[in-house]
Amino acid sequence: AQTVTQSQPEMSVQEAETVTLSCTYDTSESDYYLFWYKQPPSRQMILVIRQEAYKQQNATENRFSVNFQKAAKSFSLKISDSQLGDAAMYFCAYRSSGALTSGTYKYIFGTGTRLKVLA
């Protein structure tokens, strides 16, 4: 079974600085998707960035980028020029590219990292 591990319960960063959130996963599959979701106090999970495992190029979305190391099964999120609005819980998630035998596509989430941004 696949697992996702986030070993940093909480991180802090000064406004305008850069921070990296860590995520490792375990799978025997070769093709899958990895995601970072942000959950602010409003509770809604918001997709930050997505990476397809077959793509070697690291995904980038404005100030957010990932370092995807497939062999090491590592998927870290770098936030540049941190802003107060970045403060939230960040969840790393895994999803198989194909359906389970039941036809289900399910996401497996880590336990989250709480990011605090200091003014």
Partner 1 sequence: DAGVTQSPTHLIKTRGQHVTLRCSPISGHKSVSWYQQVLGQGPQFIFQYYEKEERGRGNFPDRFSARQFPNYSSELNVNALLLGDSALYLCASSLSPGANVLTFGAGSRLTVL
Q: Which residues bind partner 1 (CB under 8 A)?
A: 4, 33, 37, 42-47, 50, 52, 91, 93, 95, 98-100, 102-112
Q: Give the nearer residue to partner 1 in terms of CB position, either 3 or 16.
A: 3
Q: Give the nearer residue to partner 1 in terms of CB position, either 16 or 105.
A: 105
| Rounded Cα distance, 18 and 76, in Å | 13
Q: Give the nearer residue to partner 1 in terms of CB position, either 3 or 60.
A: 3
Smallest distance, partner 1 to C-beta of residue 35, A: 8
Q: Which of 98, 118, 119 is nearest to 10 (CA)?
A: 118
| Rounded Cα distance, 116 and 14, in Å | 8
Smallest distance, partner 1 to C-beta of residue 37, A: 8
CA atoms in the 13 A half-sphere facing the CB of 17: 13
Task: For the chain, give the number of residues.
Answer: 119
Smallest distance, partner 1 to C-beta of residue 46, A: 8
